[in-house]
A and B are shown apart, each in its own frame.
Chain A
Amino acid sequence: MTDAKFPQVRIAAERLLNPETLERLLNLIMKTEGIRRVLLNGPRLPATIPYGPSHGLDNPHEMRKNIKVGDQEVELQVHVGTILLEIENRDVIPALKDACDQVFTQFTYRIQEGRYMKTEPTTSDYAKYGPDADRMILGLADPKSKSGPVILQGIK
């Protein structure tokens, strides 16, 4: 869940990102001091086909891979198109722009500042985590999913 005192930015590239591109970008971003939370958004890529005539079959997809961010393995479940970040202060934004400039050389991108993360726990959050949920993790993972958020070691 978001806290109004921390700024948030959204990085949106012109194309949906390959896992390799995303890995490079996230590793550059993680070297920046002052990142609180990161959310990867995009259309979902399920491991098995959830419905339709091919229901239950394996769904191999080039864009669903494990990437390594710092020392941590991150399993991608979406084809990432937008990266939402909560940062400690606005001084971090130039470093994020630098990282994007290094990675997005073939296509354009933009960084916007605004409020992009959840501000209140939903009914699903309440049902899953109860009244005393850790407010840091609310909004970082789908409450209906069995997997939680990945905790990365920052440099602070």
Chain B
Amino acid sequence: MAYKPQYGPGSSTIADNRRKYMDPASKLEKVRDITDEDLVLVLGHRAPGSAYKTAHPPLAEQQEPACPIRKLVTPTDGAKAGDRIRYIQFADSMYNAPCHPYLRSYLEAYKFRGIDPGTLSGRQILECRERDLEKYSKELVNTVLFDPARTAIRGCTVHGHSLRLAEDGMMFDMLQRCVLDKKSGIVKYVKDQVGVPLDKEVKVGKPMDEKWLKAHSGIFHSLVGVPFRSDAEYIEYVQRVHSLRTKYGFMPKE
């Protein structure tokens, strides 16, 4: 029988969502449409419409050494053009954010090429060639992986993941890069990801409701979401990994 990857253990909705998000064959549901220009503004790496800055000449123009690996691996568009490396960083709230840092790195590794994800407890950074970054960022922001209130694009000063939410349901942000418009209920970015004020507001849509967030969350939470201890299969798997790792620490002879 052919091997079929499982992507992760568990029988809860969280485990289901994690598998769904990681599986490269399953297409992520699109829930909003942020334009390329708006995304470039929030990223803050270049002015919208300006040329991509390069780190080296395009591959077609430079002499490539004879290398079998280079023949095997097709370069991404950004690598082909010699773009510089840029980044996008997300902070995800513990309170039922659709995605969370570890899951982000896993799913990006499954879905995208030519990337360097960096995972921390409350934030996750994705580094790659600039034009690839814009393409990947669009997928990360326009699909179910993003919620305007519980997920934020933050290049620095990311604190907020483990804090209680504000009264309006927004995750804490010292720089208040995005604000919830009380009249329209739409979240608007007024600063780019590193906190430099934008000339134009970028609207990212209305925050999702609690029911939707709970159904699409990729993070366990014992108080506001699905408790980790309710998923016996997940616990069994984690305990097995822990046990094997611990035993291996003593170098058992088999």
Contact A57–B195 (Cβ < 8 Å): yes
CB neighbours of B197 from chain A (8 A) = 57
Known: A52-B194, A53-B196. A59 touches B175 (CB 8 A): yes
**B101: interface (CB < 8 Å):** no
Contact B194–A79 (Cβ < 8 Å): no
Contact B165–A15 (Cβ < 8 Å): yes
**B31: interface (CB < 8 Å):** no
Stretch at the interface among B59-67, B122-130, B154-162: B154-162
A59 to B176, CA, bound (A): 8
CB neighbours of A53 from chain B (8 A) = 155-156, 194-196
Q: Which of A14, A54, A59 has the most CB of B within 10 A?
A: A54
**A148: interface (CB < 8 Å):** no
Chain B's interface size range is: 20 to 34
Known: A49-B195, A53-B194, A54-B195. A17 touches B167 (CB 8 A): yes
CB neighbours of A16 from chain B (8 A) = 163-167, 172
CB neighbours of B251 from chain A (8 A) = none
Nearest CB in chain A: distance from B63 CB, A: 37
A46 to B176, CA, bound (A): 11
Q: Which residue of B lies closest to A55 (CB)?
A: B195
Contact B176–A14 (Cβ < 8 Å): no
CB neighbours of B165 from chain A (8 A) = 15-16
CB neighbours of B195 from chain A (8 A) = 49, 52-54, 57, 59
In the complex, which of the residues B163, B164, B196 contacts A57, with contact meaning CB atoms closer than 8 Å? B196
Chain A positions 41-78 with a Cβ under 8 Å from a chain B Cβ: 43-46, 49, 51-54, 57, 59-63
Contact B176–A61 (Cβ < 8 Å): yes
In the complex, which of the residues A21, A54, A61 contacts B196, with contact meaning CB atoms closer than 8 Å? A54
CB neighbours of A60 from chain B (8 A) = 176
> Which residues of A are interface residues toward B (Cβ below 8 A)?
13-18, 21, 43-46, 49, 51-54, 57, 59-63, 79, 81, 106-107
24 contacts between A and B (CB under 8 A): A14-B164, A15-B167, A16-B164, A16-B166, A16-B172, A18-B168, A21-B167, A43-B172, A46-B174, A49-B175, A49-B195, A52-B156, A52-B194, A52-B195, A54-B195, A54-B196, A57-B197, A60-B176, A61-B176, A62-B176, A62-B179, A63-B166, A81-B164, A106-B167
Name 20 extra pairs, CB < 8 A, besides A43-B174, A106-B167.
A13-B164, A14-B164, A15-B165, A15-B166, A15-B167, A16-B166, A18-B166, A18-B168, A45-B174, A46-B174, A51-B156, A53-B194, A53-B196, A54-B194, A54-B195, A57-B197, A61-B176, A63-B166, A79-B166, A81-B163
> Which residues of B are interface residues toward A (Cβ below 8 A)?
155-157, 159, 163-168, 172, 174-176, 179, 191, 194-197
